[in-house]
Amino acid sequence: MSQGVRRAGAGQGAAAAVQLLVTLSFLRSVVEAQVTGVLDDCLCDIDSIDNFNTYKIFPKIKKLQERDYFRYYKVNLKRPCPFWAEDGHCSIKDCHVEPCPEYLKMANNTKELEDCEQANKLGAINSTLSNQSKEAFIDWARYDDSRDHFCELDDERSPAAQYVDLLLNPERYTGYKGTSAWRVWNSIYEENCFKPRSVYRPLNPLAPSRGRFFLCLCLEKRVFYKLISGLHASINLHLCANYLLEETWGKPSWGPNIKEFKRRFDPVETKGEGPRRLKNLYFLYLIELRALSKVAPYFERSIVDLYTGNAEEDADTKTLLLNIFQDTKSFPMHFDEKSMFAGDKKGAKSLKEEFRLHFKNISRIMDCVGCDKCRLWGKLQTQGLGTALKILFSEKEIQKLPENSPSKGFQLTRQEIVALLNAFGRLSTSIRDLQNFKVLLQHSR
Protein backbone atom coordinates (compact mmCIF):
# COMPACT_ATOMS: atom_id res chain seq x y z
CA MET A 1 0.00 0.00 0.00
CA SER A 2 1.39 3.38 -0.95
CA GLN A 3 1.94 6.16 1.58
CA GLY A 4 -0.66 8.31 -0.20
CA VAL A 5 -3.31 5.59 0.09
CA ARG A 6 -2.47 5.12 3.79
CA ARG A 7 -2.82 8.86 4.39
CA ALA A 8 -6.16 8.91 2.56
CA GLY A 9 -7.42 5.94 4.63
CA ALA A 10 -6.25 7.57 7.86
CA GLY A 11 -7.93 10.82 6.87
CA GLN A 12 -11.19 9.03 6.12
CA GLY A 13 -11.00 7.17 9.45
CA ALA A 14 -10.42 10.41 11.35
CA ALA A 15 -13.31 12.06 9.54
CA ALA A 16 -15.58 9.13 10.39
CA ALA A 17 -14.54 9.31 14.05
CA VAL A 18 -15.25 13.03 14.18
CA GLN A 19 -18.63 12.47 12.53
CA LEU A 20 -19.44 9.76 15.09
CA LEU A 21 -18.55 12.06 17.98
CA VAL A 22 -20.69 14.83 16.51
CA THR A 23 -23.63 12.43 16.11
CA LEU A 24 -23.29 11.11 19.69
CA SER A 25 -23.03 14.64 21.03
CA PHE A 26 -26.19 15.56 19.14
CA LEU A 27 -28.08 12.57 20.53
CA ARG A 28 -27.09 13.41 24.09
CA SER A 29 -28.23 16.98 23.75
CA VAL A 30 -31.77 15.96 22.75
CA VAL A 31 -33.31 17.58 25.83
CA GLU A 32 -30.87 20.40 26.55
CA ALA A 33 -30.68 21.80 23.01
CA GLN A 34 -34.19 21.35 21.64
CA VAL A 35 -36.62 21.41 24.58
CA THR A 36 -35.92 24.99 25.61
CA GLY A 37 -37.19 28.49 24.97
CA VAL A 38 -40.68 29.95 24.77
CA LEU A 39 -43.66 27.68 24.08
CA ASP A 40 -45.92 28.27 21.10
CA ASP A 41 -49.32 29.91 21.73
CA CYS A 42 -48.22 31.38 25.08
CA LEU A 43 -45.46 33.55 26.54
CA CYS A 44 -44.03 31.06 29.02
CA ASP A 45 -40.51 29.62 28.82
CA ILE A 46 -39.60 26.06 29.73
CA ASP A 47 -36.88 26.94 32.25
CA SER A 48 -39.39 28.89 34.34
CA ILE A 49 -41.78 25.91 34.36
CA ASP A 50 -38.94 23.56 35.37
CA ASN A 51 -37.93 25.71 38.32
CA PHE A 52 -41.49 26.37 39.44
CA ASN A 53 -42.39 22.69 39.30
CA THR A 54 -39.22 21.46 41.02
CA TYR A 55 -39.20 23.85 43.95
CA LYS A 56 -42.87 24.67 44.52
CA ILE A 57 -45.26 22.14 43.01
CA PHE A 58 -43.70 18.68 42.90
CA PRO A 59 -42.93 18.16 46.63
CA LYS A 60 -46.41 19.29 47.71
CA ILE A 61 -48.43 17.50 45.02
CA LYS A 62 -46.56 14.27 45.79
CA LYS A 63 -47.47 14.64 49.46
CA LEU A 64 -51.11 15.38 48.57
CA GLN A 65 -51.38 12.22 46.46
CA GLU A 66 -50.51 10.15 49.54
CA ARG A 67 -53.52 11.44 51.51
CA ASP A 68 -56.49 9.09 51.79
CA TYR A 69 -58.85 11.42 49.93
CA PHE A 70 -56.60 11.42 46.85
CA ARG A 71 -55.11 7.92 46.91
CA TYR A 72 -58.43 6.11 46.29
CA TYR A 73 -60.07 6.50 42.87
CA LYS A 74 -63.42 4.99 41.96
CA VAL A 75 -63.44 3.65 38.42
CA ASN A 76 -65.22 1.13 36.20
CA LEU A 77 -62.60 -1.03 34.50
CA LYS A 78 -65.11 -3.55 33.12
CA ARG A 79 -66.92 -1.36 30.62
CA PRO A 80 -66.70 -2.89 27.12
CA CYS A 81 -65.02 -1.08 24.26
CA PRO A 82 -67.76 0.77 22.31
CA PHE A 83 -65.84 1.00 19.04
CA TRP A 84 -64.45 -2.44 18.19
CA ALA A 85 -64.62 -6.01 19.42
CA GLU A 86 -61.87 -6.84 21.87
CA ASP A 87 -59.65 -9.55 20.46
CA GLY A 88 -58.72 -10.75 23.95
CA HIS A 89 -55.05 -11.08 23.05
CA CYS A 90 -53.01 -10.20 26.13
CA SER A 91 -55.89 -8.11 27.53
CA ILE A 92 -56.98 -8.06 31.13
CA LYS A 93 -60.73 -7.67 31.62
CA ASP A 94 -60.87 -8.19 35.39
CA CYS A 95 -58.64 -7.39 38.33
CA HIS A 96 -56.94 -10.76 38.15
CA VAL A 97 -54.48 -12.17 35.64
CA GLU A 98 -56.25 -14.02 32.87
CA PRO A 99 -54.60 -17.02 31.19
CA CYS A 100 -52.97 -16.39 27.85
CA PRO A 101 -54.64 -17.62 24.65
CA GLU A 102 -54.39 -21.37 24.14
CA TYR A 103 -53.29 -21.01 20.52
CA LEU A 104 -49.98 -19.54 21.69
CA LYS A 105 -49.28 -22.64 23.78
CA MET A 106 -50.40 -24.98 20.99
CA ALA A 107 -48.21 -23.19 18.46
CA ASN A 108 -45.28 -23.38 20.87
CA ASN A 109 -44.59 -19.71 20.25
CA THR A 110 -42.37 -19.30 23.31
CA LYS A 111 -41.34 -15.65 22.82
CA GLU A 112 -44.86 -14.36 22.17
CA LEU A 113 -46.22 -16.44 25.04
CA GLU A 114 -43.62 -15.03 27.44
CA ASP A 115 -44.40 -11.47 26.31
CA CYS A 116 -48.10 -12.08 26.82
CA GLU A 117 -47.71 -13.58 30.27
CA GLN A 118 -45.44 -10.71 31.32
CA ALA A 119 -47.97 -8.15 30.07
CA ASN A 120 -50.76 -9.88 32.00
CA LYS A 121 -48.68 -10.04 35.17
CA LEU A 122 -47.46 -6.45 35.07
CA GLY A 123 -50.79 -5.03 33.92
CA ALA A 124 -52.93 -6.61 36.62
CA ILE A 125 -54.61 -4.36 39.17
CA ASN A 126 -53.70 -4.80 42.82
CA SER A 127 -57.19 -4.66 44.33
CA THR A 128 -56.08 -5.20 47.92
CA LEU A 129 -58.15 -3.12 50.31
CA SER A 130 -58.46 -3.44 54.06
CA ASN A 131 -61.85 -4.00 55.74
CA GLN A 132 -61.40 -0.61 57.37
CA SER A 133 -61.01 1.02 53.96
CA LYS A 134 -64.12 -0.73 52.61
CA GLU A 135 -66.17 0.47 55.56
CA ALA A 136 -64.83 3.99 55.04
CA PHE A 137 -65.90 3.96 51.37
CA ILE A 138 -69.50 3.20 52.41
CA ASP A 139 -69.35 6.20 54.72
CA TRP A 140 -67.86 8.36 51.95
CA ALA A 141 -70.65 7.36 49.55
CA ARG A 142 -73.30 8.15 52.17
CA TYR A 143 -71.70 11.58 52.69
CA ASP A 144 -71.36 12.31 48.97
CA ASP A 145 -74.98 11.30 48.32
CA SER A 146 -76.07 14.00 50.74
CA ARG A 147 -74.50 16.66 48.51
CA ASP A 148 -76.18 18.21 45.50
CA HIS A 149 -74.85 17.04 42.12
CA PHE A 150 -75.37 18.98 38.95
CA CYS A 151 -73.20 17.05 36.51
CA GLU A 152 -73.32 13.62 34.94
CA LEU A 153 -72.06 10.89 37.25
CA ASP A 154 -70.55 8.36 34.89
CA ASP A 155 -68.38 5.58 36.31
CA GLU A 156 -68.99 6.77 39.85
CA ARG A 157 -72.61 5.52 39.75
CA SER A 158 -71.92 2.27 37.92
CA PRO A 159 -72.46 -0.97 39.89
CA ALA A 160 -69.23 -2.25 38.32
CA ALA A 161 -67.21 0.70 39.64
CA GLN A 162 -64.71 -0.04 42.40
CA TYR A 163 -62.26 1.92 44.50
CA VAL A 164 -58.62 1.41 43.51
CA ASP A 165 -55.65 2.30 45.70
CA LEU A 166 -53.45 4.35 43.37
CA LEU A 167 -50.39 3.94 45.59
CA LEU A 168 -50.61 0.14 45.18
CA ASN A 169 -51.02 0.50 41.41
CA PRO A 170 -48.33 2.94 40.20
CA GLU A 171 -48.20 3.90 36.55
CA ARG A 172 -45.26 2.17 34.91
CA TYR A 173 -44.23 -0.21 32.13
CA THR A 174 -46.57 -3.21 31.85
CA GLY A 175 -45.53 -4.81 28.56
CA TYR A 176 -48.72 -3.55 26.88
CA LYS A 177 -47.59 -2.68 23.35
CA GLY A 178 -47.96 -3.48 19.68
CA THR A 179 -51.03 -3.22 17.46
CA SER A 180 -53.53 -3.18 20.33
CA ALA A 181 -51.90 -0.16 21.99
CA TRP A 182 -51.32 1.57 18.64
CA ARG A 183 -54.97 1.15 17.69
CA VAL A 184 -56.06 3.09 20.78
CA TRP A 185 -53.75 6.05 20.15
CA ASN A 186 -54.34 5.95 16.42
CA SER A 187 -58.08 6.22 17.04
CA ILE A 188 -57.55 9.18 19.35
CA TYR A 189 -55.37 11.04 16.84
CA GLU A 190 -57.18 10.03 13.66
CA GLU A 191 -60.80 10.29 14.77
CA ASN A 192 -60.68 12.99 17.41
CA CYS A 193 -57.90 15.47 16.74
CA PHE A 194 -58.80 18.51 14.70
CA LYS A 195 -56.71 18.27 11.57
CA PRO A 196 -57.08 18.44 7.78
CA ARG A 197 -58.56 15.20 6.43
CA SER A 198 -55.84 15.08 3.79
CA VAL A 199 -53.22 14.44 6.47
CA TYR A 200 -52.64 10.75 7.04
CA ARG A 201 -51.37 9.62 10.43
CA PRO A 202 -49.64 6.21 10.37
CA LEU A 203 -50.91 3.39 12.58
CA ASN A 204 -47.87 3.63 14.83
CA PRO A 205 -48.25 6.93 16.75
CA LEU A 206 -44.52 6.89 17.48
CA ALA A 207 -43.80 7.26 13.77
CA PRO A 208 -43.22 10.86 12.63
CA SER A 209 -46.11 12.71 11.04
CA ARG A 210 -45.84 14.12 7.53
CA GLY A 211 -45.51 17.74 8.47
CA ARG A 212 -46.42 20.32 11.08
CA PHE A 213 -50.04 20.21 9.97
CA PHE A 214 -51.46 21.84 13.08
CA LEU A 215 -49.87 25.21 12.27
CA CYS A 216 -52.63 25.85 9.73
CA LEU A 217 -55.37 25.32 12.33
CA CYS A 218 -56.98 27.98 14.51
CA LEU A 219 -55.77 28.45 18.09
CA GLU A 220 -58.55 26.36 19.65
CA LYS A 221 -57.88 23.37 17.40
CA ARG A 222 -54.11 23.63 17.86
CA VAL A 223 -54.66 23.65 21.62
CA PHE A 224 -56.79 20.51 21.49
CA TYR A 225 -54.22 18.61 19.43
CA LYS A 226 -51.37 19.72 21.70
CA LEU A 227 -53.26 18.62 24.81
CA ILE A 228 -53.67 15.10 23.45
CA SER A 229 -50.07 15.00 22.23
CA GLY A 230 -48.87 16.27 25.62
CA LEU A 231 -50.88 13.59 27.44
CA HIS A 232 -49.38 10.94 25.16
CA ALA A 233 -45.86 12.25 25.82
CA SER A 234 -46.47 12.31 29.57
CA ILE A 235 -47.65 8.69 29.63
CA ASN A 236 -44.66 7.62 27.53
CA LEU A 237 -42.33 9.43 29.94
CA HIS A 238 -43.81 7.54 32.89
CA LEU A 239 -43.15 4.25 31.09
CA CYS A 240 -39.55 5.25 30.28
CA ALA A 241 -38.87 6.40 33.85
CA ASN A 242 -40.42 3.31 35.46
CA TYR A 243 -39.29 0.60 33.07
CA LEU A 244 -38.90 -3.07 33.93
CA LEU A 245 -35.10 -3.35 33.90
CA GLU A 246 -34.82 -6.93 35.12
CA GLU A 247 -36.69 -9.54 37.13
CA THR A 248 -34.75 -11.84 39.44
CA TRP A 249 -36.27 -14.37 41.82
CA GLY A 250 -39.71 -13.08 40.96
CA LYS A 251 -38.86 -9.56 42.14
CA PRO A 252 -38.95 -6.93 39.37
CA SER A 253 -36.49 -4.04 39.30
CA TRP A 254 -37.83 -0.74 37.95
CA GLY A 255 -35.95 2.33 36.81
CA PRO A 256 -35.20 4.79 33.97
CA ASN A 257 -34.48 3.35 30.53
CA ILE A 258 -32.41 5.78 28.45
CA LYS A 259 -32.64 3.64 25.31
CA GLU A 260 -36.45 3.67 25.46
CA PHE A 261 -36.44 7.41 26.14
CA LYS A 262 -34.36 8.03 23.01
CA ARG A 263 -36.60 5.76 20.94
CA ARG A 264 -39.63 7.87 21.83
CA PHE A 265 -38.14 11.38 22.02
CA ASP A 266 -34.75 11.57 20.29
CA PRO A 267 -34.83 14.12 17.42
CA VAL A 268 -32.94 11.77 15.08
CA GLU A 269 -34.96 8.62 15.78
CA THR A 270 -38.26 10.54 15.63
CA LYS A 271 -37.21 12.80 12.75
CA GLY A 272 -37.64 15.93 14.81
CA GLU A 273 -40.97 14.96 16.40
CA GLY A 274 -39.63 14.05 19.87
CA PRO A 275 -38.81 17.56 21.13
CA ARG A 276 -42.17 18.85 19.93
CA ARG A 277 -43.94 16.10 21.86
CA LEU A 278 -42.08 17.15 25.00
CA LYS A 279 -43.01 20.79 24.43
CA ASN A 280 -46.64 19.72 24.18
CA LEU A 281 -46.21 18.11 27.61
CA TYR A 282 -45.22 21.51 29.01
CA PHE A 283 -48.20 23.10 27.28
CA LEU A 284 -50.56 20.57 28.89
CA TYR A 285 -48.94 21.29 32.26
CA LEU A 286 -49.69 25.01 31.77
CA ILE A 287 -53.34 24.31 30.91
CA GLU A 288 -53.94 22.21 34.02
CA LEU A 289 -51.93 24.65 36.16
CA ARG A 290 -54.21 27.44 34.95
CA ALA A 291 -57.29 25.37 35.78
CA LEU A 292 -56.06 24.82 39.35
CA SER A 293 -55.51 28.54 39.85
CA LYS A 294 -59.01 29.24 38.49
CA VAL A 295 -60.82 26.66 40.62
CA ALA A 296 -59.25 27.78 43.91
CA PRO A 297 -62.31 29.88 44.95
CA TYR A 298 -64.46 26.73 44.79
CA PHE A 299 -62.32 25.01 47.46
CA GLU A 300 -61.71 28.12 49.55
CA ARG A 301 -65.36 28.11 50.66
CA SER A 302 -66.09 26.72 54.12
CA ILE A 303 -68.85 24.49 52.75
CA VAL A 304 -66.32 22.42 50.76
CA ASP A 305 -64.42 19.77 52.68
CA LEU A 306 -62.39 16.73 51.64
CA TYR A 307 -64.28 14.15 53.67
CA THR A 308 -62.77 10.82 54.72
CA GLY A 309 -64.22 10.62 58.23
CA ASN A 310 -61.00 11.69 59.93
CA ALA A 311 -61.66 15.35 60.76
CA GLU A 312 -58.07 16.20 61.66
CA GLU A 313 -56.59 14.63 58.55
CA ASP A 314 -59.33 16.12 56.37
CA ALA A 315 -58.48 19.60 57.65
CA ASP A 316 -54.75 19.04 57.05
CA THR A 317 -55.47 17.77 53.53
CA LYS A 318 -57.55 20.84 52.68
CA THR A 319 -54.86 23.14 54.09
CA LEU A 320 -52.25 21.43 51.89
CA LEU A 321 -54.53 21.69 48.86
CA LEU A 322 -55.18 25.40 49.44
CA ASN A 323 -51.44 25.92 49.82
CA ILE A 324 -50.92 24.33 46.40
CA PHE A 325 -53.60 26.60 44.94
CA GLN A 326 -51.78 29.64 46.34
CA ASP A 327 -48.63 28.48 44.58
CA THR A 328 -50.49 28.05 41.28
CA LYS A 329 -51.81 31.61 41.58
CA SER A 330 -48.28 32.92 42.09
CA PHE A 331 -47.05 31.57 38.74
CA PRO A 332 -46.38 34.70 36.63
CA MET A 333 -46.81 33.33 33.10
CA HIS A 334 -50.16 31.56 32.93
CA PHE A 335 -51.77 30.52 29.67
CA ASP A 336 -54.45 33.05 28.74
CA GLU A 337 -57.55 30.95 28.15
CA LYS A 338 -59.48 34.09 27.19
CA SER A 339 -57.66 34.00 23.86
CA MET A 340 -59.68 30.88 23.10
CA PHE A 341 -63.25 31.10 21.85
CA ALA A 342 -62.83 34.86 21.53
CA GLY A 343 -64.61 35.16 18.18
CA ASP A 344 -68.30 35.68 17.52
CA LYS A 345 -70.60 34.11 20.13
CA LYS A 346 -72.18 31.62 17.73
CA GLY A 347 -68.83 30.36 16.44
CA ALA A 348 -67.33 30.23 19.93
CA LYS A 349 -70.29 28.23 21.24
CA SER A 350 -69.99 25.79 18.35
CA LEU A 351 -66.26 25.32 18.98
CA LYS A 352 -66.83 24.70 22.68
CA GLU A 353 -69.39 22.03 21.91
CA GLU A 354 -67.01 20.48 19.38
CA PHE A 355 -64.32 20.47 22.05
CA ARG A 356 -66.66 18.72 24.49
CA LEU A 357 -67.81 16.05 22.04
CA HIS A 358 -64.30 15.28 20.82
CA PHE A 359 -63.06 14.93 24.36
CA LYS A 360 -66.00 12.77 25.41
CA ASN A 361 -65.17 10.43 22.54
CA ILE A 362 -61.55 10.20 23.67
CA SER A 363 -62.63 9.25 27.19
CA ARG A 364 -64.74 6.44 25.69
CA ILE A 365 -61.76 5.17 23.68
CA MET A 366 -59.92 4.62 26.99
CA ASP A 367 -62.36 1.75 27.61
CA CYS A 368 -60.66 -0.01 24.68
CA VAL A 369 -57.26 -0.22 26.41
CA GLY A 370 -56.47 -3.91 26.86
CA CYS A 371 -54.43 -3.63 30.06
CA ASP A 372 -56.20 -2.87 33.33
CA LYS A 373 -53.44 -0.80 34.87
CA CYS A 374 -52.99 1.19 31.65
CA ARG A 375 -56.76 1.65 31.43
CA LEU A 376 -56.89 2.86 35.04
CA TRP A 377 -54.31 5.60 34.52
CA GLY A 378 -55.58 6.45 31.04
CA LYS A 379 -59.11 7.00 32.36
CA LEU A 380 -57.88 8.95 35.39
CA GLN A 381 -55.66 11.30 33.39
CA THR A 382 -58.30 11.78 30.70
CA GLN A 383 -60.92 12.63 33.32
CA GLY A 384 -58.44 14.95 35.04
CA LEU A 385 -57.87 16.85 31.80
CA GLY A 386 -61.60 16.91 31.10
CA THR A 387 -62.20 18.38 34.55
CA ALA A 388 -59.53 21.03 33.88
CA LEU A 389 -61.27 22.02 30.64
CA LYS A 390 -64.62 22.10 32.47
CA ILE A 391 -63.09 24.55 34.96
CA LEU A 392 -61.64 26.81 32.27
CA PHE A 393 -65.01 26.91 30.49
CA SER A 394 -66.85 27.79 33.74
CA GLU A 395 -65.09 30.95 34.89
CA LYS A 396 -68.29 32.99 35.23
CA GLU A 397 -70.04 30.23 37.19
CA ILE A 398 -67.08 29.92 39.57
CA GLN A 399 -67.07 33.68 40.18
CA LYS A 400 -70.73 33.52 41.26
CA LEU A 401 -70.32 30.68 43.76
CA PRO A 402 -72.23 31.18 47.05
CA GLU A 403 -70.08 30.96 50.18
CA ASN A 404 -72.27 28.74 52.33
CA SER A 405 -74.49 26.77 49.97
CA PRO A 406 -74.04 24.48 46.95
CA SER A 407 -74.05 26.05 43.52
CA LYS A 408 -76.27 24.85 40.71
CA GLY A 409 -73.97 26.51 38.22
CA PHE A 410 -70.76 24.64 39.02
CA GLN A 411 -70.05 21.45 40.97
CA LEU A 412 -67.20 18.94 41.17
CA THR A 413 -67.69 15.34 42.27
CA ARG A 414 -65.21 13.47 44.48
CA GLN A 415 -64.14 11.49 41.42
CA GLU A 416 -63.45 14.66 39.40
CA ILE A 417 -61.45 16.20 42.25
CA VAL A 418 -59.33 13.09 42.73
CA ALA A 419 -58.75 12.80 38.96
CA LEU A 420 -57.88 16.50 38.57
CA LEU A 421 -55.18 16.55 41.25
CA ASN A 422 -53.72 13.15 40.41
CA ALA A 423 -53.61 13.98 36.70
CA PHE A 424 -51.73 17.18 37.46
CA GLY A 425 -49.50 15.19 39.80
CA ARG A 426 -48.66 12.89 36.90
CA LEU A 427 -47.67 15.88 34.74
CA SER A 428 -45.55 17.29 37.57
CA THR A 429 -43.84 13.91 37.87
CA SER A 430 -43.28 13.77 34.09
CA ILE A 431 -41.45 17.10 34.12
CA ARG A 432 -39.40 15.94 37.10
CA ASP A 433 -38.59 12.68 35.23
CA LEU A 434 -37.53 14.72 32.22
CA GLN A 435 -35.05 16.59 34.43
CA ASN A 436 -33.66 13.26 35.61
CA PHE A 437 -33.21 12.09 32.02
CA LYS A 438 -31.30 15.29 31.29
CA VAL A 439 -28.85 14.39 34.05
CA LEU A 440 -28.58 10.77 32.86
CA LEU A 441 -27.90 11.92 29.30
CA GLN A 442 -25.18 14.28 30.52
CA HIS A 443 -23.54 11.51 32.55
CA SER A 444 -23.59 9.19 29.53
CA ARG A 445 -21.22 11.49 27.63
Active site residue 374: yes
Active site residue 371: yes
Q: Report the distance separating Cα 390 and Cα 356, nearest Å.
A: 9
Residue partners of 70: CB distance under 8 A and separation at least 6 = 64, 166, 317, 418, 421, 422
Short-list 403, 150, 184, 428, CA closest to 298: 403
**434, amino acid identity:** L
> Largest Cα–Cα distance of the chain, in whole Å?
94
Give the pLDDT of residue 122: 54
CB 422 within 8 A of CB 69: no
Which segments of 293-427 are extended strands (E)? Answer: none
Catalytic residue among 42, 100, 193, 374: 374
Give the pLDDT of residue 113: 44
CB 233 within 8 A of CB 249: no
Give the pLDDT of residue 111: 47
Which long-range contacts link 124-130 to residues 24+ away (Cβ below 8 Å)? 124/92, 124/95, 124/96, 124/97, 124/372, 124/373, 125/77, 125/92, 125/95, 125/164, 125/169, 125/372, 125/373, 125/376, 126/165, 126/168, 126/169, 127/95, 127/162, 127/164, 128/165, 128/168, 129/163, 129/165
Instruction: Point out the annotated binding site for FAD.
Output: 172, 174, 185, 229, 232, 264
Instruction: Point out the annotated binding site.
Output: 172, 174, 185, 229, 232, 264
pTM above 0.85, yes or no: no
Q: Report the distance separating Cα 208 and Cα 206, nearest Å.
A: 6
Question: How does pLDDT run along the chain (445 residues), one tens digit per residue?
Answer: 555 544 455 555 555 444 544 444 444 454 555 677 778 777 788 999 999 999 999 999 999 999 999 999 988 888 888 888 765 433 333 333 233 343 333 334 444 445 544 555 555 566 555 565 555 556 555 555 444 333 334 556 678 888 888 998 899 888 777 788 888 988 888 766 665 444 344 444 445 544 444 444 566 678 888 899 999 999 999 999 999 888 666 677 889 999 999 999 999 898 889 999 999 999 999 999 999 999 999 999 998 899 888 999 999 999 999 999 999 999 988 887 776 666 667 766 777 777 788 888 888 899 898 888 899 999 999 999 999 988 988 888 898 888 877 777 788 999 999 999 999 999 999 999 999 998 998 887 6
Catalytic residue among 100, 240, 368, 371: 371
Q: What is the CA 110 to chain-centroid distance, rounded?
A: 33
